[in-house]
């Protein structure tokens, strides 16, 4: 959520940022500024009225003591009128504050100055790439055929139990999945991240805090009887661990990691691009979250990007890093780097991670703060990244490492999966 002070001091910055993100309803900015002025006028009237009421109340006792009962009675009526006016002003203030809040939360985060112009994924900027794209043997096949051949994943069984997008991992496929999760967690905790096990369902306040509500309400599974939401990523519960907290500066940066299943309705997704593991309704992911001092967040962002890059290098996968353009960024992000891995069998790049700086957008919603050297309360910055999302990583590992007699396993995973090959 954008801070209201920015509307008072730099309307032009807000308009420029919203335009870069291709937000169309720019009139909302003027409505917010007008409502903020209205709210402050009501507050000023309330304060003036409260002062008058206090003065009138004090004078009543003095008038009674002096024997002027008529004047005292008049003052009592005046106080009664003030109370009625104060009640009406209170209702008007609450209405203005609610309307103002509803408008402010409808606006996306403003992009960082380094975010490139553009509207579509084709306009994202390639920052760098690494790894060699393998030359596969004749007859190489995509992962949905490999997983059937080697009995690693049963998509039809998942469809029977639940529906499309809920695969069942079996035998060495299940062990590879479990091994990847453990390797990612070990890699993250070895870099100083604290591991958490968090709930897989959150309440409405938690979903609002990280920006899933109201922006992505239709993309989440909703347990309506309890008003709980299945998490789309562990970013949601992890960041909310510090909701309404004042973090001591010596605790910064806060580094957290967690493995969870993730649940996304992915409404409207269909076709060849979502076949097999390319897009699922339930999938496993290991997440990184940092909460840090506002002066360090872009340094931390680069550290997180390098962390994920080295993880991909250890898996021996060809990858590229993209800086997302304004039109392809999420509602909440100020700057996002996407990681894509090349699937040689499918001959296409697959996104496997996003690393984002949200600046104060989430922490303003959640009131995650610290006290500066002057003792003034300030908002912290929050960041998150996938480290890593498993479905497309597994797809690329299987496809890019296939040979005529089986599938090679990267050396770094040997102790996690009990061997260097499948087949």
Asked if 282 contacts 177 with a C-beta cutoff of 8 angstroms, the reply is no
Asked if 403 contacts 297 with a C-beta cutoff of 8 angstroms, the reply is no
- Is 353 marked within a binding site? yes
Kindly report the CA angle at 189 between 183 and 193, in degrees rounded to 5?
Answer: 135
- Is 264 marked within a binding site? yes
- Is 233 marked within a binding site? yes
- Is 369 marked within a binding site? no
Question: Which phi and psi angles does 186 have, rounded to 5°?
Answer: -60, -40
- Is 266 marked within a binding site? yes
What is the token pair recorded at 288? Answer: 């990184």
- Is 351 marked within a binding site? yes
277-280 contacts, C-beta under 8 A, 24 or more apart: 277/143, 277/144, 277/153, 277/167, 277/391, 277/392, 277/394, 277/395, 278/350, 278/391, 278/392, 278/395, 279/165, 279/391, 280/165, 280/166, 280/167, 280/391
Question: 124 by DSSP, 3-state: which?
Answer: coil
- Is 195 marked within a binding site? no
| DSSP code for 409 | -
| DSSP code for 121 | G
Q: Which residue ranges make up the annotated binding site for L-serine?
A: 233, 264, 287, 384
Binding residues for ATP are 264-266, 351-354
Residue ranges for the binding site?
233, 264-266, 287, 351-354, 384
């Amino acid at each position: 959520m954008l801070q209201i002070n920015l509307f008072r001091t730099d309307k032009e910055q807000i308009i420029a940022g919203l335009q870069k993100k291709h937000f169309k309803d720019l009139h909302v900015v003027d409505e917010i500024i007008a409502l903020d002025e209205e709210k402050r006028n009501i507050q000023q009237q309330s304060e003036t009225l409260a002062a008058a009421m206090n003065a009138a109340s004090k004078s009543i006792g003095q008038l009674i003591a002096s024997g002027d009962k008529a004047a005292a009675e008049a003052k009592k009526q005046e106080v009664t009128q003030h109370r009625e006016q104060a009640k009406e002003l209170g209702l008007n203030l609450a209405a203005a504050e609610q309307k103002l809040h509803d408008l402010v939360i409808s606006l996306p985060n403003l992009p960082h100055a380094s975010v490139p112009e553009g509207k579509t994924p084709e306009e994202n900027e390639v920052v760098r790439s690494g790894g060699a794209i393998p030359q596969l043997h004749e007859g190489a096949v995509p992962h949905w055929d490999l997983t059937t051949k080697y009995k690693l994943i049963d998509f039809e069984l998942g469809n029977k139990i639940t529906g499309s997008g809920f695969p069942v991992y079996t035998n060495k496929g299940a062990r590879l999945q479990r091994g990847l999760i453990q390797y990612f967690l070990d890699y993250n905790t070895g870099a100083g991240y604290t591991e958490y096990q968090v709930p897989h369902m959150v309440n409405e306040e938690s979903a609002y805090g990280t920006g899933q509500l109201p922006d992505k309400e239709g993309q989440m599974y909703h347990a309506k009887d309890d008003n709980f939401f299945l998490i789309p990523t562990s970013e949601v519960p992890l960041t909310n661990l510090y909701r309404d907290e004042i973090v001591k500066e010596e605790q910064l940066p806060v580094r957290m990691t967690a493995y969870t299943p993730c649940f996304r309705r992915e409404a409207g997704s269909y076709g060849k691009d979502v076949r097999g593991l390319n897009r699922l309704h339930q999938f496993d992911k290991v997440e990184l979250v940092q909460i840090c001092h506002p002066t360090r967040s872009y340094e931390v962002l680069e550290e997180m990007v390098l962390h994920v890059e080295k993880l991909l290098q250890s898996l021996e996968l060809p990858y590229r890093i993209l800086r997302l353009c304004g039109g392809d960024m999420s509602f909440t992000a100020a700057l996002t780097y996407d990681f894509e891995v090349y699937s040689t069998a499918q001959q296409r790049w697959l996104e496997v991670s996003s690393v984002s700086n949200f600046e104060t957008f989430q922490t303003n919603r959640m009131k995650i703060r610290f006290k500066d050297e002057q003792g003034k309360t300030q908002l912290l910055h929050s960041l998150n990244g996938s480290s890593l999302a498993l479905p497309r990583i597994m797809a690329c590992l299987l496809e890019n490492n296939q040979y005529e007699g089986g599938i090679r396993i990267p050396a770094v995973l040997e102790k996690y999966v009990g061997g260097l090959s499948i087949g």
